């Protein structure tokens, strides 16, 4: 959970997650939405992937990234469990 929370603490990584919420995208497509070098975007993608927030799949010469929705479901369930069952 620590890796996940650290990964989403960065605004660039949160924006990448928002982009991938729309649809899966190749690294170049993601990078075109930022004024950052490709290496920086690759670094952010690696952190998100290492935290399990995104998955990647090779499609021809491209690597396409997509959200790992099962991890987000786990996070939502964990957050809901913190609230407890008594509505407080």
pLDDT (tens digit, 9 = 90+) per residue, 3-13? 888 898 899 99
Residue 51 has pLDDT above 80, yes or no: yes
Contact 66, 27 (CB under 8 A): no
For the beta carbon of residue 54, count every other beta carbon within 10 angstroms: 22
User: Which pLDDT score is estimated for 75?
Assistant: 77
Query: Which domains are delineated in the chain?
Result: 2-82 (1.10.10.10)
User: Which pLDDT score is estimated for 86?
Assistant: 54
Q: Which residues does 49 contact at the CB level (< 8 Å), separation at least 6?
A: 55, 56, 65
> Strand 54-59 vs strand 25-26: parallel, antiparallel, or unpaired?
unpaired
Rounded CA separation 43/22 (Å): 21
């Amino acid at each position: 959970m620590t890796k996940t929370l650290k990964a989403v603490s960065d605004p660039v990584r949160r924006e990448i997650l928002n982009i991938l919420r729309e649809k899966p995208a190749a690294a170049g497509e993601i990078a075109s939405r930022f004024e950052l070098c490709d290496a920086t975007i690759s670094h952010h993608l690696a952190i998100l992937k290492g935290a399990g927030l995104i998955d990647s799949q090779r499609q021809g010469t491209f690597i396409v990234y997509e959200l790992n929705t099962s991890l987000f479901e786990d996070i939502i369930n964990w957050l809901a469990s913190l609230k407890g069952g008594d509505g407080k």
